[in-house]
Structure 1
Amino acid sequence: MTEQNFESMREAMVSNQLRTTAVNDVRVVDAMRAVPREAFVPANRAEVAYVDTLVPLGGGRSLNSPMATGRLLTEAQPRATDRALIVGSATGYAAALLSGLVAHVVALEEDVALVTAARSAGLPANVELVQGPLAAGWAQGAPYDLILVDGAIETLPQALVDQLGEEGRLAAAVVERGVSRLSVGRKVGGAFGLVAFADAEAAPLPGFAKPAVFKF
């Protein structure tokens, strides 16, 4: 595949996957047009980097589809002055996108191989790559104006809500009865709630399973 091929595929992604699914924030669209998604997937999967589906990264992890990423970023309403946290940053694609939309990005990942891949991909200077359990967030950098949970979760830990600043936004895909629902919420007066806005397949993240219910 040549760079020209990848550029054509990025344009097709914008036209066929983003513009048709309410990814209508010009800044988000421009970022997704500019960032080479193929640099954030395994070399042997580069040719499917722009397909509208999950792209396996190894170790049971996957890269979200362009549509899911674009919708979450759009609904999160990133601002130029924001300090943002990405939970489950994987190889760094969402961090690279968000880096051009906000002031600073803390990219949290727990998988050593994915952290290594993110470093190799070459992230912008305003991205701080950190390693730790995803469900714990990264309290050292809190409070955040925006938290992007870059994948599907069954439960939203209170730790992440606590790390949001007042008026902070959080976007995630929440699994309800087997269906992944893209959702967004805002913290107001210390209270927080998520509202679903679209159903879409999203990459499952480890550490967010609902507690098992024991039956007697």
Structure 2
Amino acid sequence: MSTPAQRMVAEQLRPHGVTDERVLEAMASVPREEFLAPRMRRHAYEDRALAIECGQTISQPLVVALMAQAAAPQPDDIALEVGTGSGYAAAVLSRLCRKVVTIEREPALAEHASETLGRLGFNNIQVAVGDGSQGWPPEAPYNVILVAAAARGVPPALVEQLADGGRMVIPVAIGPDQPQDLRVYVRRGAEVGYRSMFPVLFVPLRTG
């Protein structure tokens, strides 16, 4: 008998462009309901963003999966996530990489996410409190950087902390009253280029 997460993979992810089997397996293995307040758990496998504490959201499963797929994480990679939120996306990413560092500026969210991840046995994730736009230099460079908030421009510190051959997936705010552009940046030596994926709507990346 399939689990709710497995049904989500079959019904929401496979039909909408998620083809990487490692990503699909990771999404099927992480219980999204555990990252939500009890009153929200009945909505856990709906394909939409859901409210969590501190005015933040847990991204819709399809967006989490497509961002992970675009970053092409490898088993030996070290990944940085900006915007821990509930910890759900970090949990998915941890199934795909050797280590994940996730930064959250709200101490209460970081503490709750750390407790949830620890309780569920995710032991290759480091939760840090700080300004995500500055990255996390102690563990740099990163093979993968996922940013779960929209920036007006790509923060220079994140570009600096991207390893050669590294991939960064980030929503970029184009202008007022316009959808954000989800982009994949790739470093090749000193050059960093990007390709656009699709329009998204994320909370703004707070800096300072």
**Alignment TM-score, normalising by the size of structure 2:** 0.90
Give runs of ≥4 in structure 1 deviating > 6 Å.
none
3-state DSSP class of the match of 1:167?
A: strand
Does residue 206 of structure 1 match 2:201?
no
* Structure 1 equivalent of residue 187 of structure 2: 187
Q: Which region of structure 1 is more displaced relative to structure 2, 124-133 or 190-199?
A: 190-199
1:153–1:204 CA contact under 8 A, matched in 2: no
Q: Which gives a bigger RCO, structure 1 or 2 (Cα 8 Å, sep 6+)?
A: 1
Aligned counterparts of 2:129 and 2:135: Cα–Cα separation in 1? 10
3-state DSSP class of the match of 1:52?
A: coil
3-state DSSP class of the match of 1:125?
A: coil
1:35–1:97 CA contact under 8 A, matched in 2: yes
AA in 1 matched with 2:71: A
Aligned counterparts of 1:106 and 1:54: Cα–Cα separation in 2? 22
2:150–2:205 CA contact under 8 A, matched in 1: no
3-state DSSP class of the match of 1:176?
A: coil
Q: Deviations over 1:135-185 (max 9, x none)?
A: 111111111111011233332110100011111110122232421332211
Aligned counterparts of 1:175 and 1:47: Cα–Cα separation in 2? 32
The Cα shift of 1:121 comes to 0.7
TM alignment of 1:93-132, pairs within 5 A:
93-123=88-118, 124-132=122-130
* Structure 2 equivalent of residue 62 of structure 1: 57
C-alpha distance 152-47 of structure 1, shift in aligned 2 (>3 A)? farther
The Cα shift of 1:8 comes to 4.1
Q: Which region of structure 1 is more displaced relative to structure 2, 116-125 or 96-105?
A: 116-125
TM alignment of 1:160-199, pairs within 5 A:
160-177=158-175, 178-199=178-199
AA in 2 matched with 1:30: E
The Cα shift of 1:51 comes to 1.3
AA in 2 matched with 1:160: L
- Which runs of 5 or more residues in structure 1 are unaligned? 209-216
Q: Which region of structure 1 is more displaced relative to structure 2, 70-79 or 166-175?
A: 166-175
RMSD: 1.8
* Structure 2 equivalent of residue 145 of structure 1: 143
* Structure 2 equivalent of residue 213 of structure 1: none
The count of corresponding residues between Structure 1 and Structure 2 is: 203
* Percent of residue pairs bearing the same amino acid type: 33
Does residue 39 of structure 1 match 2:34?
yes
C-alpha distance 157-93 of structure 1, shift in aligned 2 (>3 A)? same
